[in-house]
Amino acid sequence: METIRIVQYFALRTYASTFNWQEPENSSFNKDKVYNHYYQNFFVGETKAWNGRQYTFAPFRAEGTMSSLGGDNPVVQVLFPNIEVVIRFVEQGNGNRLSRLTLSTVWLNAAFNQIKAYEERYVGVGASFSDTTVELRFRSAMDSVGAQFPARKLSRNNVGILPLSADISLR
């Protein structure tokens, strides 16, 4: 039996909220800052390249249902130790409410060669803190579509204004 190793690549993009900035009037400071964070959770103390980006090591794990057949858009949690750098990127992203996550799960063989890779995209919905852990919560960026879905194009004319979350109800 072959040994399989799993590494996850965590690419988080946070958007600074405009109401948290303290700046002098008439400043040309850009309020819409974007921060990118790249971490992997397998190669301890190393930086690894994946899809053209450099990922440094961070001890994290993803929990929850990554996908479901029913398309109920479950919550996925990513747990980090409660350290300063994690708290900083949660604050930069307005409590993880303005973030986008691309979580890539890669299967490696014993020689650390890639066997399979899966990529999933999520939208941040919040965060919580304990003495030892920072929990980032995400929802899937898309729901699955069932057979009962109407066979026509969605537009404002037949649906109205579409919501920004995954909660959509067709009547």
Any domain includes 163: no
**Is pLDDT of 107 > 80?**
yes
Is 133 a member of any domain?
yes
> Who wins on pLDDT, 60 or 94?
60
- Indicate the helix (H) or strand (E) that contains 126: strand 114-129
Overall domain count for the chain: 1
For residue 33, name the pLDDT band (cuts at 50, 70, 90): confident
Query: Between β-strands 114-129 and 34-40, what pairing exists: parallel, antiparallel or unpaired?
Result: unpaired
152 falls within a domain = no
Instruction: Report pLDDT for 29.
Output: 39
The residues near 99 (Cβ < 8 Å, ≥ 6 apart) are 12, 13, 14, 15, 93, 123, 124, 136, 138
Residue 164 lies in a domain: no
What is the dihedral angle through the alpha carbons of 41, 43, 48, 54, rounded to the nearest 10 degrees? Answer: 40
Domain that holds residue 94: 5-22+30-140
Q: What is the pLDDT of residues 118-167, one digit of tens each?
A: 888 888 888 999 999 999 999 886 655 555 555 666 666 766 666 666 66
| Residue 161 domain flag | no
Whether 125 is in a domain gets the answer yes
In a domain, 169, yes or no: no
Residue 163's alpha-carbon distances to 138, 147, 160, 167, 170, in angstroms, are 17, 22, 9, 7, 12
Q: Is residue 39 part of a domain?
A: yes
Least confident of 25-29, 35-39, 47-51, 157-161: 25-29
pLDDT of the residue at 162: 62
CATH number at residue 51: 2.30.110
